[in-house]
Amino acid sequence: MRKLLLLALFLCLTTLGWAQKKSPIGIWTNEEKEARFEIYQCGDKLCGKIIWLKEPNRDGKPKTDQYNPDPKLQKRPIIGLVFLKNFELDGDKWDDGTIYDPKSGKTYSSYMKLVGNDKIEVKGYIGISLIGRTQTWTRVQ
């Protein structure tokens, strides 16, 4: 009986570890390794925020969202900025989300797709997903 209980516990922990690795929830870095992002559960969807910048300051002060088209948001800090919103699981990818680019102040339609346990493709596009820009991020944690 004890062996059966230990086997069941082992299988549960193994399944839990596998399920976590198949999720984009965690800490990621971009191709240039200039930033880190945390992807997390927000309600029944996924969101993401910037948690680290290689160069966090500009002119001795924390970088702000200076290119945002809304003047009221231009003074908010980049670190802590929620830039991924409303991603829903759709088959093998998280779709129907948006990605905000603080370098341009523009928001794009977006999807994310795991391409391994520690790699994720993130695509931002306008209109149809055939045209756009794709980056591969690497899991940090």
Q: What is the pTM of this model?
A: 0.82
Q: How confident is the model at residue 19 (pLDDT cuts 50, 70, 90)?
A: very low
Please, which residues bridge with residue 42 across strands?
45
> What are the pLDDT digits (tens) for 69-120?
999 999 999 999 999 999 999 999 999 999 999 999 999 999 999 999 899 9
Q: How far from the centroid of its chain's Cα atoms is residue 123's Cα? A: 11
Give the phi and the psi of residue 123 in degrees, each rounded to 5: -120, 130
pLDDT per position as a tens digit, 24-40: 999 999 999 999 999 99
Instruction: Report the candidate in 135, 138, 100 with the shortest Cα–Cα distance to residue 116.
Output: 138
Q: Are 79 and 37 in contact (CB under 8 A)?
A: no
Q: Around Cβ 78, how many Cβ atoms within 10 Å?
A: 18
| Percentage of residues in the chain having pLDDT higher than 70 | 85
Q: Which residues contact 135 (CB under 8 A, 6 or more apart)?
A: 30, 31, 121, 122, 123
Domains of the chain: 2-139 (2.40.128.520)
